[in-house]
Structure 1
Amino acid sequence: MRKTKEEAEKTYNALLDSAAALFILKGVTNTTLNDIAKNAGLTRGAVYWHFPNKDWVVMALWDRGALHVHQDMVTKLKELQREPKLEKFVKQMHNMFGLVNEDPSFTQAIKITMNCVEITEESSELQDYLNQNKNNLYGAIKTAITSLHAAGELTQSYTADLITNSLWVLLIGLVNIELDIHRPNEFTATRDTELFDLWLKGFIA
């Protein structure tokens, strides 16, 4: 039983490694489950044993490469509600930029999930899953900024909502630049951090 479980886990990870490589190379839309199996040297049946469809593969890649980091970010940002200190918020944001640029699994998961969902009026299970994670992060950032704003750490010239939204726009912009294959390595953790610091100067009390 143990050997079977270990073999299943090995197959599972081999399929995810294959999918990640193909998604980056060809795109999610142009990659089939059969492509994933063939690239991994496995049968199509092996894919369906673990994943009923391609959306599940994408969700599994997020879970493996990014979920633990994402949850840690959310937890630490929400902790600022109890002790709203600007230096703690800045440290957490700097850590986030470092992970995006320095953790290959996390970066890979973001690249794939940010480019895999077609925008339609009818949401899919994958859309709902990724939106839930995105909303969790947005909510944590909003909690942190609202707490900092109430504690007088951020300027009262703007509302906490406006400050939150402006940071969110910056973050989405930085992620999209990271994903631009025509501008590889243009942004680094240091440059991303500098842009965040520049943003912050406009809102420090």
Structure 2
Amino acid sequence: MARRTKEDAEATRNALLDAAEQVFLAQGVSQSSLAAIAKEAGATRGAVYWHFKDKLDLFNAMIDRVTMPLDQVIYGDLGQLSQVAPLPRMCRVIHLLLNGLVNDDRIRRVFTILMHRMEFVGELAALQVRHTSSMNEFTRQLALDFAAVAEQQGYALSGTPQLLAIGLRSLLDGLMHSWLMSIEGFDLEKDGLAAVQVYLVGAGLPKAAVAATFAEATSLPNPLAGAARLPCGYVDSSVL
């Protein structure tokens, strides 16, 4: 009985997170109420407060369900990309991001909410700290990879690793933001990866090396496929 109760509680929690995605996407985060989310999930408001302290807590849990598997694959020990050479890792990370956004409905919904359905005001103001921290960490990792590529391969970069990392992160943000606004506008995976390759060549990396590394990265299966539907934090590292 206890096992069944635990399974029921987990099912209710996931149903609430699923409902939050749908309601936030349709109404925007600031205009959405916990009552609307409970109704969408077929649950009571009491069930919402049993699992989450408030809307901010629910929103963070919804984000974690997508970003924790992503973080595990990219930089965590589970994904083991931390052990990959810097240029292949950079190309693999970028491919995972764009491919996951195109092919995983949940990742696409959550990123649409983040980029087009929320404002960092009122009860959601605290999320700006999390957003900024995540953005800075991604930039830091990219800068480390640029520096490592230059040191290990002897490439003469066209700017400092930090500046190149800021530029690459901004390019990726712009590509994702624009594509989510109108997914028919361009092919995010094909055109996006091509744009990134142009950027990396402009950054001082050899065109042939960049092309070959991306060709290898895109030939590998994406471990994020379905990861957002698995228990939070789990990714099958055997496909890496």
TM-score tier (shorter): 0.7 to 0.9
Counterpart secondary structure, 1:151: helix
Q: In the aligned structure 1, how far is the partner of 2:135 from the partner of 2:72?
A: 11
Partner of 1:184: 183
Q: In the aligned structure 2, how far is the partner of 1:160 from the partner of 1:121?
A: 36
Partner of 2:223: none
Aligned in 2, Cα 1:71/1:116: closer, same or farther, shift over 3 Å?
A: farther
Aligned in 2, Cα 1:98/1:132: closer, same or farther, shift over 3 Å?
A: same
Aligned in 2, Cα 1:12/1:87: closer, same or farther, shift over 3 Å?
A: closer
* Residues 27-36 or 149-158, more deviating: 149-158
Q: In the aligned structure 1, how far is the partner of 2:108 from the partner of 2:17?
A: 15
1:179: Cα distance to partner?
Answer: 2.8
1:126 lines up with 2:127 in the alignment: yes
Question: What TM-score, normalized to structure 1?
Answer: 0.85
Partner of 1:6: 7
Partner of 1:200: 200
Q: Is the CA contact 2:56–2:123 (under 8 Å) kept in the aligned structure 1?
A: no
Q: Is the CA contact 1:77–1:89 (under 8 Å) kept in the aligned structure 2?
A: no
Counterpart secondary structure, 2:75: helix
- Give the percent of matched residue pairs that are identical in Structure 1 and Structure 2: 29
Question: What TM-score, normalized to structure 2?
Answer: 0.73
Q: How many residues align?
A: 200
Partner of 2:75: 74
Question: 1:185 is matched by which residue type in structure 2?
Answer: E
Aligned in 2, Cα 1:93/1:153: closer, same or farther, shift over 3 Å?
A: farther
Counterpart secondary structure, 1:30: coil
Q: Deviations over 1:93-126 (max 9, x none)?
A: 2233211211222222222233455346998443
Q: In the aligned structure 2, how far is the partner of 1:114 from the partner of 1:170?
A: 15
Q: Is the CA contact 1:24–1:112 (under 8 Å) kept in the aligned structure 2?
A: yes
1:129: Cα distance to partner?
Answer: 2.9
Aligned in 2, Cα 1:143/1:116: closer, same or farther, shift over 3 Å?
A: farther
Q: Deviations over 1:25-75 (max 9, x none)?
A: 111111100100111111111111111111111111111122211332234
Aligned in 2, Cα 1:78/1:67: closer, same or farther, shift over 3 Å?
A: same
Partner of 2:93: 92
Q: Is the CA contact 1:77–1:144 (under 8 Å) kept in the aligned structure 2?
A: no
Larger RCO (CA within 8 A; separation ≥ 6): 2
Aligned in 2, Cα 1:42/1:123: closer, same or farther, shift over 3 Å?
A: closer
1:200: Cα distance to partner?
Answer: 1.6
Q: Is the CA contact 2:34–2:45 (under 8 Å) kept in the aligned structure 1?
A: yes
Partner of 2:151: 150
Partner of 1:57: 58
Partner of 1:33: 34
Q: In the aligned structure 2, how far is the partner of 1:50 from the partner of 1:188?
A: 36
Q: In the aligned structure 1, how far is the partner of 2:124 from the partner of 2:183?
A: 31
Question: 1:130 is matched by which residue type in structure 2?
Answer: H
Q: Is the CA contact 1:33–1:54 (under 8 Å) kept in the aligned structure 2?
A: yes
Aligned in 2, Cα 1:69/1:35: closer, same or farther, shift over 3 Å?
A: same
Aligned in 2, Cα 1:31/1:191: closer, same or farther, shift over 3 Å?
A: same
* Residues 114-123 or 193-202, more deviating: 114-123
Q: In the aligned structure 1, how far is the partner of 2:74 from the partner of 2:194?
A: 20
